[in-house]
Amino acid sequence: MASKRMAPRECPECGLPIDPRGLAGHRRLKHGEAAARQPEAPSQERQASQAVLEALGSIDRSIWRIEARMMRLEARIEELAGDAREAARAEAESERQRMQRELDHLLQTIAAEKAAAAEEAARRGRPARTDEELLQQTAFHQRLGRLNRRRYSLIFRLSEQGQGQGQDFSSFGVV
């Protein structure tokens, strides 16, 4: 098999055509040790490759910095979201407690109205059905109706806030 010969190159010192495989030996023997050790100028392809590698390294470092920044931002977002959820939960709980106090007060008022009506009926002995008594009884039922509407409204709002928490409202007169 015949080996392929490469095109001869000129020696940089003397200009003789030399086979590229023997150029280093020629320079060492004919021109001395210093000439043989002189590095060849890097080719344009090699310079371009080196520039691409440096650019890729720079991009890689930039990506690492961006990823680190994103991780810090994600952690901060989670922290702020947790704080916001906690604040909303505390606000809802305080609103729920306020409505619970209002409902308790309302139930006490209803009980007091009923007790006052029962005392009035007991004081009279047997309720006589005069126009004035019917008017008083109607006014009592109107007041009691308004109080009951407020009670049911509060119970409804409490049940909407506590959906899925298994609340039992039977103690409030609602079954």
Q: What is the pLDDT of residues 25-71, one digit of tens each?
A: 888 888 876 655 555 666 788 888 888 889 988 999 999 999 999 99
pTM for this structure?
0.35
Distance CA 72, CA 67 (A): 9
Domain assignment present for residue 140? The answer is yes
- For residue 31, the model assigns a pLDDT of 83
Q: Give the model's pLDDT for residue 169.
A: 56
| Per-residue confidence band for 175, with pLDDT thresholds at 50, 70 and 90 | very low
Over 80: is that where the pLDDT of 16 sits?
yes
Task: Name the 3-class secondary structure at 41.
Answer: coil
Please write the tens of the pLDDT for every residue from 131-165: 566 566 777 778 888 888 888 888 888 888 766 55
Say yes or no: 22 and 107 in one domain: no
Contact yes or no for 49/33 (Cβ under 8 A): no
Q: Are residues 35 and 121 in the same domain?
A: no
Same domain, 108 and 49: yes
Question: Half-sphere exposure (CA, 13 Å, Cβ side) for 36?
Answer: 12
10, 18 Cβ separation under 8 angstroms: yes
Place of tokens 């709002």: 157
More confident residue, 65 or 97: 65
> How far is C-alpha 1 from the geometric centre of its chain's CA atoms?
72
In which band, very low, low, confident or very high, does the pLDDT at 96 lie, cut at 50, 70 and 90?
Answer: confident
Full residue range of the structural domain in which residue 119 is found: 44-162
Number of domains in the chain: 2
Kindly state whether residues 124 and 98 are assigned to the same domain: yes
**Is residue 172 a part of any domain in this protein?**
no
Question: Hey, which bits of 1-160 come out as E strands?
Answer: 9-10, 17-18
pLDDT (average), residues 16-30? 85
Is 62 found in the same domain as 35?
Answer: no
